[in-house]
Amino acid sequence: MNKPEVVFNYIGNLPECPTWDDNTNTLLWTDITEQEIHRFSPQTKSHSVLSFNEEVGCFALREKGGFILAMRTGIFLSNKQGEIESQVCQNPNNPPLARFNDGGVDPQGRFFAGTYWAPKTYNAALLVRVDSDLKANVVQCDILGANGLAFSPDKQWMYTSDTPNHVIYRTPINENSELGLRETFKKFPINNGRPDGAAVDIEGCYWTAMFDGYRILRISPEGEVLEEHLLPVRCPTMVCFGGQDMKTLYITTTRQNMDEIELAKNPLSGSLFAIRTKVPGMIKPNFIEI
């Protein structure tokens, strides 16, 4: 088992949505509560930050350049400097109670973003899809906290997780790239970590960050845990593959809502980690507009 290494001298509050830009060989991520997107070059060690006026739950690179951003109040397009160009849609949830959270792009270049229902009173979060014509539709509901979006290499499955409910789902995708009925892929017991952000490797295995679980899991397409990678922090938030060979797994972690006692025990909470993997990961597609 490879030992996780700290990527560089950085600690955030709620880093999420790590994204490898293979055109520039840089790693990007959002710090949600700080309303920032970060970019880091492993080669040059340069680090830059874009600031926004509200939380960026997730984002993706646009084929035309710039970003598509799922923020608290809605989904927006920006240029590469982070300057907002237009709003795609409003948040279909109640923005004060449910900001956008996890998301990404499918093999067809469509952007998905899910919300997180903060009151945790019932499953009120939603999953939204933005098509290439910039039309947005709610495609799934009955979610408490949307996370774990990833797609199988054969383009037949969409994976998602509902972190507060300790479950990973998978949804079939038909020949017209439309979603079928969601089904449970793997359920986790209480008090041993919760599935958060995820990525898929070229063998179709699903890598999930186990929030509250001090570890990363690699799960086979049949739902069997194949690998476990321990971390020196309690709450990893998401993973992505990167590097020139796509065999570096980058891991974001959080220190949000941790007291001084825990931070003294786990001072690297909020850091970015990396481990080397035997199998390459899938490159995240860019969002395609027509």
Residues forming the active site: 196
| Euclidean distance between CA atoms 229 and 160, whole angstroms | 21
In angstroms, the CA 240 to CA 283 distance is: 9
The residue count for the chain: 290
Under 8 Å between Cβ of 198 and 208: yes
In 172-181, which positions are buried (b, 16+ CB within 10 angstroms) versus exposed (e)?
A: ebeeeeebee
Which ranges constitute the DSSP H helices of 44-137?
none
Is 266 within 8 Å of 214 (Cβ atoms)?
no
DSSP H or E segment with residue 114: strand 111-117
Residue 6 CA to residue 250 CA, distance in Å, equals 10
* Cβ-Cβ contacts under 8 Å for 276 (sequence gap 6 or more): 2, 247, 248, 249
Burial 195-215 (b: 16+ CB within 10 A, else e): bbbbbbbeebbbbbbbbebbb
- How far, in whole angstroms, is CA 223 from its chain's centroid? 20
